Amino acid sequence: MAVSDVASSLILLDTNRKVSHNALRVLHYRALVLLICAIVLGLGSSRTVRAQPSIIVAQEFDSLQQGTVGILRISGEEIVGGNASIFDRAYPFFPTTEGFASLVAVPMDQKVREYPIVTTIYLKDGSSVQWDGNLNVSPGGFIAEPDFTIPPDKAKLLNPDIEVAEETRLQAIYSVLTPERYWEGPFVQPVDGKLTSPFGSVRTFTNDGEVRRHSGYDLKTTSGLSIVASASGRVVYAQPLDIHGNNIVVDHGWGVFSEYAHLSAIYVVPGQFMLQGEIIGASGNTGRSTGSHLHWEIAVNGIRVDPAQFLRLRLPL
């Protein structure tokens, strides 16, 4: 009885060795190759099983800190898309010059432990294959800041109802998924300024004794300094909010957003496309702020992440 073809091979790349990528950066991978051979037998006959091209899965992290982002890549001639499921969330894959990539964002309050990664890869013939991996979430190293006191004329902005309403509004913006990628390289810091409050820090407000987490990155500035777009994208929000003050949100595609808060002036309108480095507003002290500064946020797939870590990320193109 003859078998005319050996069926399919699924190559999974997830390595711990160092490899050069475009001579720009050393990445860490952990290599695992899985060869699946299927032989179909029939009584007194043979059947041809079409060979499936190789599929490469590259997990560019073994662990991620709370509030950070990692890259998951898939490649292969027959791939048309994919989706990763982590933390009971869906992380879609987007086309790149080297295949497809997914930006895996870890919430700042995600529990520290190991989590399964279930990646479904869609093929041209309508079928799909699944790859299972793991992600270790490690502590974010967040600090506790000195106590905050909001000026009496702004103390009303500590009202939980105001906080919930504003967060709901922002999450509605961050939940939109634009399939196009607008950025062309690494993001940049929107203004020169000294870091006064890092991402994820724990803040206790003396006004009400409540503890809150910092969702962005505060850069100290004088009022009126030019604020530029961290990367190219489309303005999706440009008006005042109670807590964030004069506020701008830019959609960079693939579920990535940047936000610029407490501005003294807004120079853009929703729908306007901005190139990286173009001026979008001016720094200020509007909203729930105790002094002139820029509150800068990055959100990925609806999750706020550390802007400083995101700047260092080798983003897919």
pLDDT tens digits, one per residue of 95-143:
999 999 999 999 999 999 999 999 999 999 999 999 999 999 999 999 9
Per the DSSP assignment, residues forming a β-bridge with 122 are 81, 128
User: pLDDT tens for residues 162-191?
Assistant: 999 999 999 999 999 999 999 999 999 999
Please identify every stretch of the chain with a pLDDT value under 70, giving residue numbers as ranges.
1-53
Residue 277: CA atoms inside 13 Å, Cβ hemisphere, count? 3
d(CA 229, CA 278): 6
d(CA 120, CA 100): 12
**Can you give the pTM of this predicted structure?**
0.85
**152-312 CATH pick, 3.50.50.60, 3.60.15.10, 2.60.120.380, 2.70.70.10:** 2.70.70.10
For residue 308, what are its two tokens? 């400083």
Residue type (1 letter), 226: S
d(CA 139, CA 141): 6
d(CA 16, CA 141): 24
The residue ranges of every structural domain in the chain are: 10-138, 152-312
Q: What is the DSSP letter of 146?
A: P
Topology of the domain covering 10-138: Immunoglobulin-like (2.60.40)
Express as a percent the part of the chain with pLDDT over 70.
Answer: 83
d(CA 173, CA 16): 37
